[in-house]
Amino acid sequence: MRTSCHKPRRQRRRARFRFGRELGGSCHGVINDVREKTDLVVALPITLMGSFLMGALFETGYLWTLSAPLSPLIVGLLGFPAVTGLSLILGILRKELALELLVALAIAQYGTGATDLLTFMTPAQVFTYALVVTVYFPCTATASVLGKELGWLNALLIMAFTISLAILIGAVTFRLTPFIGLT
C-alpha cells in the first residue's frame, strides 16, 4: 500500500522519523529536508562571499569611504551617527549581529570609550536604530532563498520594499520620539 508520497517503505520510514516525530506518512519531512539542503547550497556561498567582501573592505579601509555617500540618508533623514550606516550594510549579512557590529565599528571609529551605545547615540537614536534593524531586509541568506523560491525579480522587489519601509518608519519615528519623551 502506498502513501501520498509514493516513496518506497524504507524512504518513508526515514522521512517520518528524521525529526524525531511521526509525520503520519505525509511528505512534510521530505520537503523540509530538501528545503534545508537548498538553503545550504544557495545561501551559504552567498553569505560566505559577502562576509569575505565586507572583511576585505574593512581591512583595507575602504569600508569607511562608504559612510560619506550614506551620510545624507543616515545622518540627515534618520538622525543616526554616520557609523550606523556601515553597521546597517554589514548587518545585511547577519541581521542578528547588527547591534554588535555597531558597537565594534563605533569602537574602531571613536576609540575604546564607545563600548556603550549611549556614549555616541541618544536613547531616541538607539530606539529608532533597533526599529529600523527589525524592519529592514532580514539577511543575504533569506535574499538568496527568496530569489531561488520566488524568482530574483520578486526577491529584489521585496528587498526594495522592506528597505524603503524601514527607512520611512525610521525617519518618522526619529521625528516623533521627542513627543513621546525619548531624547
Please report the pLDDT score of residue 22 as a whole number.
44
Please report the pLDDT score of residue 18 as a whole number.
47
What's the rounded mean pLDDT across residues 154-179?
A: 93
pLDDT tens column, 91-146: 877 777 788 888 888 888 788 777 778 888 899 999 999 999 989 877 777 888 88
Is 126 or 22 the better-scoring residue by pLDDT?
126
Which span out of 13-17, 20-24, 29-33, 49-53 was modeled with the highest average pLDDT?
Answer: 49-53
Which pTM value belongs to this model?
A: 0.69
Residues 180/127, Cβ–Cβ less than 8 Å: no
Percent of the chain with pLDDT over 90: 22
170 has a pLDDT exceeding 90: yes
pLDDT tens column, 42-54: 667 777 887 788 7
Is 19 or 54 the better-scoring residue by pLDDT?
54
Is 2 or 103 the better-scoring residue by pLDDT?
103
Please report the pLDDT score of residue 176 as a whole number.
92
11 has a pLDDT exceeding 70: no
